[in-house]
Amino acid sequence: MSSSGLGGLNRSPNGIVVGLVQLQNPDVETPAQLAAQTQRIVELVGKARRNNPAMDLVVFPEYALHGLSMRTDDAIMCSLDGPEVAAFKAACIEHRIWGCFSIMERNPGGNPYNSGIVIDSEGAVQLYYRKLHPWVPVEPWEPGDLGVPVCKGPNGAMLSLIICHDGMFPEMAREAAYKGAEIILRTAGYTAPIRHAWRVTNQANAFQNLAQTASVCLCGSDGTFDSMGEGMFCDFDGTVMVDGSHRPDEIITCEMRPDLIREARVHWGVENNIYQLGHRGYVAVKGGARDCPYTFMQDLVRGEYRLPWEQDVRVTDGTSCGFPAPERHYRNGSRG
């Protein structure tokens, strides 16, 4: 079983040192404030590099640029070819480090996307993801349409990114691992009432998929909302390797070991759950049962997902949080 390598200070040849930034929760409502917050993030990329010369990847939480106001003003929305992302690329190049960043992405065809990108140390975007599961009814973002991408990161580690509420769905981490992810990043803006669920899902997402998880929230107050920080690294047996605090702008670090994940995925028998999901009862039948016995999966694929209590669900749009009821439909991955 792996350890944190004293927070990555003792880096092994097979390791990847990750830093999680418990970023001070910002309040951004104007282009000038957006530019200032962009510069603050750039400064913290530099801090991460000075903090640990062995650090391979620095991860910023969801809403790092925009804060928790849920503003959708076009003037403060971002794009992949905009100045904010250009500044992040330049910072990664300057400090020779990979970075994971959050943007609220302009969408001419509908509501903005809540997007995340991973940029390598040469300034190239290696992973681009749009949040599949906005935190309804609070968030107004367009549901993501890029699936769950995976990329090869520092030292050959396979990375994926899920955002905040995504991590509450076991299917999200499973999809990431099924596509090869060894380290699952989870960025968030969660506040204290979600603390327990945050911890148990980060641990479960790791154990159920023989993966390591690296997860971080915004931290501190913007004068209205209090976010909780609490970065955490979990090992593939579900144990917590490093725990964060409630201190804004603290960077917590850990050495992740994708080589040990690969070893477990190949050699574990008992509790190799991601393999056994598709090979049920292989002791009794050759190769195991390869069917899909799960009604909810079959119904979801057919577009017929319906709970037994569906007609009784009361919160089905964002009106309780001040958003107008939508009129557009989403069909087969496209807006209609």
pLDDT of 163-220, one tens digit each?
A: 999 999 999 999 999 999 999 999 999 988 999 999 999 999 999 999 999 999 999 9
**Has 105 been annotated as catalytic?**
no
Closest by CA to 158, choosing from 183, 178, 175, 176, is 183
Residues 195 and 244: their CA atoms lie apart, in Å, by 12
Each residue of 22-60: pLDDT tens digit?
A: 999 999 999 999 999 999 999 999 999 999 999 999 999
Determine whether 62 is an active site residue: yes
Confidence of residue 1 (pLDDT cuts 50, 70, 90): very low
Does the annotation mark 164 as catalytic?
yes
The two tokens of residue 231 are: 């970065």
User: What's residue 63's pLDDT?
Assistant: 97
Residue 335 has pLDDT above 50, yes or no: no
74-95 residue pLDDT tens = 999 999 999 999 999 999 999 9
Among the options 78, 92, 131, 139, which is catalytic? 131
Distance CA 256, CA 318 (A): 39
- In order of 44, 48, 88, 246, 317, the CA distances from 118 in angstroms are 16, 16, 10, 25, 31
Give the whole-angstrom CA distance, residue 93 versus residue 284.
54
Angstrom CA distances, 20 to 58, 142, 214, 277, stand at 6, 26, 8, 31
CA–CA distance, 124 with 214 (Å, rounded to integer) = 22
- pLDDT tens track for 229-286: 999 999 999 999 999 988 999 999 999 999 999 999 999 999 999 999 999 999 999 9
136: phi > 0 → left, psi -120 to 50 → alpha, else beta; which?
Answer: beta
Q: How far, in Å, CA of 150 to CA of 159, rounded?
A: 6
Global pTM reads: 0.96
* All structural domains of the chain: 5-276 (3.60.110.10), 295-335 (no CATH)
Q: What was the pLDDT predicted at 332?
A: 58
Question: Both tokens of residue 97?
Answer: 């480090």
Residues 6+ apart with CB under 8 A from 242: 4, 7, 231, 232, 233, 252, 253, 254
pLDDT band at 322 (very low <50, low <70, confident <90, very high): very high
Question: Of 62, 182, 230, 255, which residue is the catalytic one?
Answer: 62
Catalytic hit among 164, 217, 219, 254: 164
